[in-house]
Amino acid sequence: MLITEDLLLHYKRCPRRAFLDIYNDPNSKDRDQDFLLKLRQDSLAHRQSILALTTVQRPYYPSRDWQAGANATLELMQQGVEQITKGVLMLSLSDDLAVPSFNSLSYNHGNDLPLVTSGSPIAVTLVAYPDLLTKHPGKSDFGDWIYVPTTIKLGRRPKPEYQIVAALQAQLLAATQGVWSETAQLILRNQDSYSVKLERWVPQMQTVLKNCIETLLASPAPEVFISRHRCSLCHWYSDCYAQAQAQQHLSLLPGVTPSRYQDLQMLNLTTPESLANASPAQLETVFDGELTTQLIRQAQAVVQNRAILKTDSPTSGALTIPSALVELYFDIEAEPERHLDYLLGVLVVEREAERERFYPFLAEQPFEEAAIWQQFLELVARYPDAPIFHYSDYEVDTVKRLAKLYETPRSSVKSLLSRFVDVHQCVMGTVTFPVESYSLKHLAHWLGFEWRDAGASGAQCVWWYDQWLRTGDRTLLEAILRYNEDDCRATYRLKTWLCEFLQAAATNCN
């Protein structure tokens, strides 16, 4: 069995993904999303920009021939090459070989962490491929020098999985050169350099590696758990989601986190039906009263497929959602890598005139952001009394950013922000929906609203805009405009439904 640093990173994020990567039919993977391809392109460009700053040598070997790569890398290290890129570090494990132990930065082949049990029919080989191996003064099996590994990542912070990979590289490097380096390096976004504390992360890596091997040697696959943020870009998402749906898995309920799921399992509450029928007293042995009510009500909404009022006083919720003769619905499309908000879309709804008009303020080139900001300000100034509805807090944060960047008077910004109404907050404070997520898309779908382009998303728009800048294909811009307008109209639909629902509830109470 081959365990690469990528597989270990995936295991750290999701044990099930690592298992499926080993055993599932690769032809059943989902197609890589365009946004994921863009992330890979951005990551490669970042890595190349860092490597361009120094002189490096590269070992040559057939693609993914790890043994040849390890041999070629070893030759360069023995020669004392100053910097090596695309090197391979490799260690085969057996009954009589443990991962070299980490003890006060000394190197030995201790038996503190045996990774393959006696009699195991499967051989395990570890492979790492640091972006850089840099020569430093010291004593190693090679002579008066040692190497230090460096990993280049596009992330903004040194995530635990990055540091675990760096620790694996340091471990395999110690096995190769006969001595530990005192640190391993991470280079992050903006060329920020970070030193990994090996005394902390090597033991953690060894534990994760041991658990990973045990998981991969066991059967069946780890239990499915759907986490929208983590799972959305995974190539096994469709496989896992289908299983979760078939099992009516509790991870499909909003509010059920991995730790809460474990607590619910201990209470023998493993389906939406069992949770919906549970007594508050049963859950309050583990959760506080507010969370207990939230979880039970969410399960009831899904089981009964109906929206449930959260409060006994519906009029209080209705009063927080203004209605006016003219209302504005606002949505933004952004390109995070460029720190650019390139589309400010506004749907103007004039009730008395029964008229709706969509205004897309689009920066076809990044330098036009200032111009579309001014155009947006001019439009909203035409309707000084109109509330501005949006979904989530991104629009508020963006208005503050653009106002500061382009020196908009504080008084104007304060007046503008006072008109903003977050429909997401309105939803979360008043109604429990029978949905898997409280994203705008899930809520609008439940209301029967459909986006014109199937599969369109904010992430897809990031890729579309990047491709527009590269190719000049205007059909990409048109797709972005449709998506943004549909977001505005979905917010309009949701706000209208919410007001009607709360009004009906208030009438029934009276």
Provide the pLDDT confidence category of residue 80 given band limits of 50, 70 and 90: very high
Give residues with Cβ within 8 angstroms of 110, minimum separation 6: 98, 100, 101, 103
Look-up of token digits 């696959």: 221
Buried b (16+ CB within 10 A) or exposed e, 438-461: bbbbebbebeebebeeeebbbbbb
Neighbouring-strand partners of residue 89: 128
User: In the chain, what's the furthest Cα-to-Cα distance?
Assistant: 88
Buried b (16+ CB within 10 A) or exposed e, 73-82: bbebbeeebe
Length of the chain: 510
Domain ranges of the chain: 2-217, 238-305, 316-509
Share of the chain above pLDDT 90, in %: 84
210 CB-contact burial (10 Å; exposed 0-12 / middle 13-18 / buried 19+): middle
Q: Are 1 and 122 in contact (CB under 8 A)?
A: yes
What's the predicted TM-score (pTM) here? 0.87
Question: What fold, for 316-509?
Answer: Nucleotidyltransferase; domain 5 (3.30.420)
Give residues with Cβ within 8 angstroms of 3, minimum separation 6: 124, 125, 126, 127, 209, 212, 213, 216
Look-up of token digits 């029934």: 508
Give the residue among 87, 163, 505, 120 at the shortest CA–CA distance from 318: 505
C-alpha–C-alpha distance, residues 181 and 174, integer Å: 7
User: Which pLDDT score, from 0 to 100, does residue 121 have?
Assistant: 58
Neighbouring-strand partners of residue 92: 125
Tens of pLDDT, residues 181-204? 999 999 998 888 999 999 999 999
Strands 193-196 and 308-309: unpaired
User: Which pLDDT score, from 0 to 100, does residue 508 have?
Assistant: 79
C-alpha–C-alpha distance, residues 122 and 4, integer Å: 16
Q: Averaged over 294-306, what is the pLDDT?
A: 97
Look-up of token digits 């009438």: 507
Give CA angle at 274 (270, 277), nearest 5°: 155
Kindly state the tokens that stand for 393. Answer: 């807090």
User: Which pLDDT score, from 0 to 100, does residue 320 have?
Assistant: 73
User: Which pLDDT score, from 0 to 100, does residue 181 have?
Assistant: 93
Architecture in CATH for domain 238-305: Orthogonal Bundle (1.10)
In angstroms, what CA-CA distances link 110 with 97, 176, 207, 331, 343? Answer: 8, 15, 16, 59, 59
CATH of 2-217, one of 1.10.10, 3.40.50, 3.90.320, 1.50.10: 3.90.320
Q: Are 253 and 299 in contact (CB under 8 A)?
A: yes
Q: Which comes out higher in pLDDT, residue 203 or 98? A: 203
Q: Averaged over 383-401, what is the pLDDT?
A: 96
Tens of pLDDT, residues 128-179? 999 999 999 999 999 999 999 999 999 989 999 999 999 999 999 999 999 9
Tens of pLDDT, residues 247-266? 999 999 999 999 999 999 99
Chain centroid, CA 302 distance in Å = 25
Rg (CA), the chain: 28
Provide the pLDDT confidence category of residue 506 given band limits of 50, 70 and 90: confident
C-alpha–C-alpha distance, residues 11 and 161, integer Å: 9
Kindly state the tokens that stand for 386. Answer: 């109109």
Provide the pLDDT confidence category of residue 102 given band limits of 50, 70 and 90: very low
Region at 303 (left for phi over 0; alpha for psi -120 to 50; beta for the rest): alpha
User: Which pLDDT score, from 0 to 100, does residue 509 have?
Assistant: 73
203 CB-contact burial (10 Å; exposed 0-12 / middle 13-18 / buried 19+): middle
Report helix, strand and coil shares of the chain as percent, to nearest 5: 50, 20, 30
